[in-house]
A and B are shown apart, each in its own frame.
Chain A
Amino acid sequence: MTIMAGPEDVKAAPVDKGAWATTVRAVDAIWAKPLAAVESVGEHLVLFGQSMFWLFRRPFRPMIFVEAMQFVGVESLLIVTLIGTFVGMVFSLQLVSAMRQFGAEAFVGATLGIALTRELAPVFTSIVVAARAGAGMATELGSMRITEQIDALSTLAVNPVQYLVTPRVVATTLMAPLLTMLFICVGMFGGYAVAVWLLDVDRGLFLERARWIVDSSDLIQGMTKATIFGCALSVISCAQGYNASGGAKGVGIGTTRAVVGSFVTILILDYFLTDIILVLQNK
């Protein structure tokens, strides 16, 4: 016997449809954030691609690159020197205190050297650059966006990505490893000063063990990381400023996102880059 759908069944249909719509809305809501995150990553990659495309197209404006390098590099010298020195000093203080317990203070210089070149210098330097130069880039580009100065560049037949984003990305990518080198030098000096001059660690052992353990592969690891961090933080900062909207509040939100996004990205990238580099080194 075939059961035909009666009027009751027809009336029941909208209830099912409502339940389906609610389910779809709930799934959409759950997926909204991951999708937005993927979209955001895509936007950043597109901006990076555009900035590289315009790097190799005329007109070339060397003075803008020099200005950007001065802003990112030269103007960060003091803060990087200061932070590098104190990071080296405090790390040395902790190492001597911990290693003395089992008579291994001879390895303080070596441990400090490894930690600085592989991790502390690239991560700290990039965080300092993100906080100082990255926030500055996001604010500057954001305020240019909301006052239509970026549109004005386009109307004057000047590509705004080529004029504003490319020099900042290139300058930060080049300056981050150089500042990291400076960080390593002043960090080692700070650590040496605390260990040798204040805590009576043997000078010869400190230097000799550091020279023995730390080699060029550690330096390459640190420089590679700093280059990638510099590129990532500049793209994030420029993207947040370049795509800012909603007036002064929008610029503030963009700057906050630039700094927080850069910090998080640097630390996440650090883990995966370390993993990849260690696997490659151990092959």
Chain B
Amino acid sequence: MNPDEDVSQKSDKFQLRIRGIKKSFGTHQVLRGVDLDVERGKINIIIGGSGQGKSVLMKHLMGLLKPDSGHIWVDGVDVVGMNDVQLNKTRLKFGMSFQYSALFDSLTVEENVAFPLKEHTGKHAEEIRGLVREKLESLGLRNIESKYPAELSGGMRKRVGLARALVLAPEILLYDEPTTGLDPVATKNVDDMIRDISKDTNVTSVVISHDMASTFRIADRISMLYGGVIVQTGTADEIRRTTNPVLREFVEVSGAVKMEPPGSVRDADERTDAGS
């Protein structure tokens, strides 16, 4: 990161820019000054252990939580000071896939996916039905329109949640632990889906994960959250060669990724103040 750069200006490279985000719950400080840039049109993955504040950070991106201090710029617009009405407009740029899908359990699959279309477009019921079917089919889901979320498997619920997030064609797609609780085959399917969506729609993806195999399979850019700060950001190759002991240990312990000797290439964003 270039400390002299004016991050409040719209950037062609970075769609989301976060500076100095701090957040406490009671006396427990979860985020201690997060600085992060999210690259436009790429798959940006934030890794970190349980309880490190990954989901808290993600909720800040959409304004579901307000930080104690710091700024988040979305295409050069600071969302931190926005009121609910302004936030609603900005949120139309986003789609979010939740860890446990968060489908509306009183609505059918079709009603769930149609929900954003009914709320934000003036389309007719028939047109909406067609779009919903098209979106579900693009994610490999057929003949489930009339089912309720409780009647679906975990993997199917995830895909329906993703269909709902994608149906308004967002510019930024957030995934909260997309592979948690899935078997290896379903995990690979979700990985492929994230890759395909990114490639086909050029959407900016932000993925929260602690699944190292998935992360190194699909990431364009990996950042590690540890001790309430981002300790390093880089490509998968750069992370494999990292000198940061915390990051090395985190990736190595998973056993899913083979690390390389440290130090050959260093990322400009690297920070060495882990846990400070």
Interface of A toward B, CB cutoff 8 Å: 57, 59, 147-149, 151-152, 154-159
Q: In the bound complex, how far is the Cα of B113 from the Cα of A115, in angstroms?
A: 52
Q: Is B98 an interface residue (CB 8 A)?
A: yes
How many residues of B are in contact with the other chain, CB < 8 A? 27
| B100 with A148: CB separation less than 8 A | yes
Residues on B with C-beta less than 8 A from A157 are: 88-89, 91-92, 116, 119-120
| B102 with A148: CB separation less than 8 A | yes
Most buried by B among A148, A149, A155: A155
Residues on A with C-beta less than 8 A from B64 are: 151, 154-155
Residues on B with C-beta less than 8 A from A159 are: 84, 88
25 CB contacts below 8 A, A to B, read A147-B100, A148-B99, A149-B105, A151-B59, A151-B64, A152-B96, A152-B102, A152-B103, A152-B104, A154-B62, A154-B91, A155-B62, A155-B94, A155-B165, A155-B174, A156-B91, A156-B115, A156-B116, A156-B119, A156-B164, A157-B88, A157-B89, A157-B92, A157-B120, A158-B88
Q: How far is the CB of B66 from chain A (nearest CB, A)?
A: 12
Q: Is B53 an interface residue (CB 8 A)?
A: no
Q: In the bound complex, how far is the Cα of B103 from the Cα of A148, in angstroms?
A: 9
Q: Is B234 an interface residue (CB 8 A)?
A: no
Q: Is B95 an interface residue (CB 8 A)?
A: yes
Interface of B toward A, CB cutoff 8 Å: 59, 62-64, 84-85, 88-89, 91-92, 94-96, 98-100, 102-105, 115-116, 119-120, 164-165, 174
| A interface secondary structure, majority | loop
Quick one: given A154-B64, A156-B115, A157-B89, are A148 and B98 in contact (CB under 8 Å)?
A: yes
Q: In the bound complex, how far is the Cα of B165 from the Cα of A152, in angstroms?
A: 9
Q: In the bound complex, how far is the Cα of B102 from the Cα of A80, in angstroms?
A: 36
Q: How far is the CB of A99 from chain B (nearest CB, A)?
A: 52
Q: In the bound complex, how far is the Cα of B164 from the Cα of A57, in angstroms?
A: 25
Q: In the bound complex, how far is the Cα of B95 from the Cα of A158, in angstroms?
A: 13
Residues on A with C-beta less than 8 A from B119 are: 59, 156-158
| B89 with A151: CB separation less than 8 A | no
Q: How far is the CB of A159 from chain B (nearest CB, A)?
A: 6
Residues on A with C-beta less than 8 A from B174 are: 155
Q: Of all chain A residues, which has the CB nearest B63?
A: A154
Q: How far is the CB of B120 from chain A (nearest CB, A)?
A: 7
Q: In the bound complex, how far is the Cα of B91 from the Cα of A154, in angstroms?
A: 8
Q: Of all chain B residues, which has the CB nearest A148?
A: B102
Residues on A with C-beta less than 8 A from B120 are: 157
Q: In the bound complex, how far is the Cα of B116 from the Cα of A108, in angstroms?
A: 59
Residues on A with C-beta less than 8 A from B96 are: 152, 155
Residues on B with C-beta less than 8 A from A149 are: 102-105
Residues on A with C-beta less than 8 A from B92 are: 157
Q: In the bound complex, how far is the Cα of B155 from the Cα of A103, in angstroms?
A: 77
Residues on B with C-beta less than 8 A from A158 are: 88, 119
Q: How far is the CB of A152 from chain B (nearest CB, A)?
A: 4
Q: How far is the CB of B32 from chain A (nearest CB, A)?
A: 23
Q: Of all chain A residues, which has the CB nearest B161?
A: A152
Q: In the bound complex, how far is the Cα of B64 from the Cα of A1, in angstroms?
A: 67
Given pairs A151-B102, A156-B91, 8 additional interface contacts (CB within 8 A): A57-B85, A147-B105, A152-B102, A154-B63, A154-B91, A155-B62, A157-B89, A158-B119
Q: In the bound complex, how far is the Cα of B62 from the Cα of A186, in angstroms?
A: 52
Q: In the bound complex, how far is the Cα of B102 from the Cα of A121, in angstroms?
A: 41
Q: In the bound complex, how far is the Cα of B116 from the Cα of A152, in angstroms?
A: 11
Q: In the bound complex, how far is the Cα of B41 from the Cα of A53, in angstroms?
A: 37
